[in-house]
Structure formats: C-alpha cells, structure tokens
Structure 1
Amino acid sequence: MDFLLLKAAIMGVVEGLTEFLPISSTGHLILAGSLLGFADAKAKVFEIAIQSGAILAVVLVYWRRLSDAVTGLATQASARRFVLNVLIGFLPAAVLGLLVYKVIKGYLFNAPVVAASFIIGGLIILWAERRASPRVRIQSVDEMTWVDALKVGLVQCLGMIPGTSRSGSTIIGGMLLGLSRQAATDFSFFLAIPTLIGAGAYSLWKERALLSMADLPLFGVGFFVSFLSAWVCVRWLLHYVASHTFIPFAWYRIGFGVVVLLTAWTGWVAWAD
C-alpha cells in the first residue's frame, strides 16, 4: 500500500507541474502511469480526479478576482459578463465530452497517440509563435465578448485528445484569435476551473463501481501533491508569460514525442495501453 501511495505522489507531481503548461498533463500522466505500472481502469479515473487538486491551486492564486466576480454578480455588469464568458467557454467541452467520453477513454489513452499529439502540438506552437504577430484585439479578460469566449471554448475541445494539451490549445488558440498572451493565459486558467472539476466529477460518477473507501488515501495523496506542485507552477507561469514565448515548450514536446515513439518502436520501453 505504501508503494501505491508513492506512485500516487509521483503522479500528483506530474499532474500539478504539467496541467497548466502547454505540454499536456494527460499525456504525461498516461506515460508516467505506464512506466509505474499504474495504468488500470482505476488509475485512469485517478488521473482525471486529481486534476481537481491542480484547480484548487488556480482558485487560490486568483482568489481575489474570483471572489470579486461572485460577490459582484448582483450589482456589477462586468462580473456577470466574466462569469457568463467562462460558462460559455466551458459549454463546448462539456457537450462534446459527454458525447465522446467513452471513445476517448477507450481508444486514445495510449503512448502512440500521446507521442504523435506531442509532436504535432509542438509544431503548431512553433508555427504560431514564429508567424507574423496577429493584431491583438483583447488585452485583458474583461474585454472579451461572449463570441470570443465561445471561440476559445471550441478550441479547448482539441485538448481532449491526450497529448494535445488543454492549456496549450486555449492559450495558443486564444492568441491566434486576437487575445494578448496574458489574457489568453488568464482565460485558460479560468476556463480550467469548471472544465476540470466537471471532468473529474463525471469520471468519478461514471466509474464509481470501481472505487471504495479504501481508495481515499490514494486519491487524497494524489490530490494534495497535485495541488502543491500546481500552485508553484501557476505562480511561475504567470511571471514567465510576461516576457517569454512558448517556443521552449514546443521543442520539449517534439523531443519527448520522438523519444516515446522510438522507445516504443524499438521495444526499449513496453508502453502499456
């Protein structure tokens, strides 16, 4: 049992450090779980459930903004617009997730898909960062319309493919749609709150027959470690985006994807499905 808790802690670190970077937390969790021998049906539920720990970190970092939005709902148009935009951005992923949950979970949670998505996503980031800078229409989240929120929400759906990266899709997609780097990053964080909490709750409910009270320590360790590592990562990323591009993450994705494909092809690593 202690060794299983160690695996949970390792997976929590992986989740927290990768959830909000454009490198795909789900992809890293699938590969880490394969290496650790933690890739059964319960492990897949665990991977989705511990995302809630990372979300708690976002809530704490943005606590002032979120609390102001909630308390201002009755009196401030800007607060109502902010909450509505987040809900509109969340809607496409919620609907599509309900429709394709079983297909994604059953056929796409494997090393070749993750590796290919790493590489393709890395190339897209390189293209997006090196093309002529699009005209920035929106400097902050407060300037977004519901149409902007819906467009980013549609782009977020690409992140359902393991290895693609939900945060990468929303940040790079948002920038291509005219959001500033900071606005795209902030909205990606805000959009993660309902998206990942919803995904975690839905997964726990759908697979509740696999779980028991004995699993609480396992999920508790993963949740707590995910929270701590995500809190560090979110605070670092907010400083990073102020003066850096995402090109280093693109090269990391491409290099890591190539390594996974090579080790799978040569048989050096027996990646589990």
Structure 2
Amino acid sequence: MWDLFVAIVLGIVEGLTEFAPVSSTGHMILVDDMLLHSKELFPASVANSFKVVIQLGSILAVLVVFKDRFIDLLGLRRRSGAAASTSKGGRLKLAQVIVGLIPAGIAGVLFEDFIDEYLFSVETVLIGLVLGGILMIVADKFGPRSPSADTVDKISYKQAFGIGLFQCLGMWPGFSRSGSTISGGVLLGMSHRAAADFTFIMAVPIMAGATLISLYKHWADFTPEALPFFIAGFISAFVFALLSIRFFLKLIQKIKLTPFAIYRFVLAALIAVFLYI
C-alpha cells in the first residue's frame, strides 16, 4: 500500500503546483527525492515515467476548466451569423495561441539535449526558484496599472509572441512555466488574470506534446505491477489540479505575484537546508 500512498501524494503535489507559479519541479524534489523516495519503489525509468503520467492528469484538468474556450478555438461550436461575426472580432484566436507557442517550440528543439544533460540538478532548480521569484516581483512592481488587455480576448499578436519568449525561461528547471509567462504577460500590458488564462491555454499543447513523446519512449515501463501506481497518481493529479486551477484563477487578481515569489524563496531555502546542512 505504500506505493499507492506515494503515488497519491505525488499526484497531489503535481496537481497543486503544476499551474501555480511556484515550480512543480522544486516541489517534486522536496517531497519525493527528500521524503518519499519513489525511485526506491520502482526502477528510475518507471519513476520518471510516472511523473509524465501525472502531468496528463493536470492537462485533463485544464481541458475541463477551459472546455468552452478550447471548443471555440477549434471552431467546434455552431454559431448564428451575428454571433460568429462578433466572435471573430472579439475573442482569442487559435493563431494567437500558435504565435505564443513558437518561441518555446524552437528553443525546445534546439536546447532539449543541453537542458536534460546540464540543467536538471538541485543547484539549477534553486537558481530557477530564486530568479523566477525576482521576475515575479519585478512584474508586480513595474507592470502597468491600467492593462491594455484586461481579458485574454484582448491580447494582441505582439503580446502573444512576447509571452512565448518569456515562456522559454520556464524551460530552466525551477523557474516555473506559469511564473515566467504570467510575469511576462503582466510586463507586456496584460492583467494578471488575462496572463494566467493565456498561460493555461498555451500549456495544454506544450505539455501534451512533451508528455505523449515521453510516453512513447517509455511505453515498456507500463507493466501490470506499475499500473496501479500510475492510475492512482493520475487521478489524484487530475482532482487536485482541477481544484487548484479554479482557486488560483480567483486568487491571482487579488494577491498578484509577490506572495508566490516569497513562497518560492522560502522553498529554495528549505531545499538548501535539506541538502547542505
């Protein structure tokens, strides 16, 4: 039963932290590598595949929360002539999402091997936690008080591309994809809520693509013995991601980013204490 408990706890950690600007990688290191030690239950490849599977639970949660938005983006909703005309002029377009995905897509192709080989260490995660926190404080301090885009439907192609550039920072472990993109969106003239909405929408194709590729590479790890471990983690990640996304979207407009930045500094200090003292 211990393996199922570990799976559920890690799924909870993934669900609560994947889309909040606090670094799910940092939390996985603190909870798993230092406390639960999932790699002692299964081979390292299985433990790594598990972390990919629970990301699918988080992706499914985003699809549920933003289901109407994705239906509109994909053109699957039938509209009357007047409604369709209004929609074309005043709603987020799929092309804007694609523009936002381009920078990280190119950077991922160019630097994936370098990141996997040199940046996945506790030291780089600590650096990412601190630098990402500083960026979030800068966004709160210097972001415009009257955003040009107070909803995701008002963002421009220039803002979408700019957020895509900031998203590249999230490739550094510990920096946080959502932290970098929300901060970037605020600095580019978006409200905190609009930047968060666009961040979650962009996360789905990026995370889904990376997850499916990883699943294909590690399909042999899905043995009958490991399957309950995967299923328990997937379900807990989905449930808690669903709760945390809804809660975070209400919270971000009220408290902004600075409290999350302070939390990141505390988390970095805890990891450093566990490792070096």
TM superposition score category, shorter chain reference? 0.7 to 0.9
Deviation at 1:211, TM superposition (A): 3.9
Counterpart in the other structure of 1:16:
15
1:252 to 257, 260, 263: 263
Counterpart in the other structure of 1:6:
5
| CA distance 1:221–1:233, shift in 2 (3 Å) | same
What is the alpha-carbon distance in structure 1 between the residues aligned to residue 202 and residue 143 of structure 2?
A: 27
Deviation at 1:245, TM superposition (A): 1.6
Indicate conservation of the 8 Å contact 2:143/2:186, yes or no: no
Counterpart in the other structure of 1:45:
49
Mapping of residues 200-239 of structure 1, within 5 Å: 200-239=211-250
Matched, 1:191 2:180: no
1:63 to 60, 67, 89: 67
Matched, 1:128 2:127: no
What is the alpha-carbon distance in structure 2 between the residues aligned to residue 85 and residue 204 of structure 1?
A: 28
SS in 2 for 1:142: helix
User: Which residue identity does 1:257 align to in structure 2?
Assistant: A
Matched, 1:242 2:241: no
Deviates more, 1:156-165 or 1:85-94: 85-94
SS in 2 for 1:137: coil
What is the alpha-carbon distance in structure 1 between the residues aligned to residue 95 and residue 180 of structure 2?
A: 21
Indicate conservation of the 8 Å contact 1:49/1:201, yes or no: no
Deviates more, 1:112-121 or 1:14-23: 112-121
Indicate conservation of the 8 Å contact 1:68/1:79, yes or no: no
SS in 1 for 2:148: coil
User: Which residue identity does 1:139 align to in structure 2?
Assistant: D
Indicate conservation of the 8 Å contact 1:50/1:219, yes or no: yes
Deviates more, 1:220-229 or 1:71-80: 71-80
SS in 2 for 1:21: coil
Aligned length: 265
Indicate conservation of the 8 Å contact 2:140/2:186, yes or no: no
TM-score (norm 1): 0.88
What is the root-mean-square deviation in Å for CA atoms of aligned residues?
2.3
TM-score (norm 2): 0.86
What is the alpha-carbon distance in structure 1 between the residues aligned to residue 264 and residue 239 of structure 2?
A: 24
Indicate conservation of the 8 Å contact 2:97/2:160, yes or no: yes
Indicate conservation of the 8 Å contact 2:91/2:153, yes or no: no
Q: Map Cα deviations across residues 214-237 of structure 1 (whole Å, 9 max, x no partner).
A: 432222111110010011111111
Matched, 1:172 2:176: no
Indicate conservation of the 8 Å contact 1:89/1:152, yes or no: yes
Percent same amino acid among aligned pairs?
37
Deviation at 1:128, TM superposition (A): 2.2
| CA distance 1:132–1:149, shift in 2 (3 Å) | closer
| CA distance 1:207–1:239, shift in 2 (3 Å) | same
Deviates more, 1:198-207 or 1:129-138: 129-138
2:105 to 80, 94, 118: 94
What is the alpha-carbon distance in structure 2 between the residues aligned to residue 129 and residue 144 of structure 1?
A: 19
Deviation at 1:78, TM superposition (A): 5.0
Deviation at 1:263, TM superposition (A): 2.7
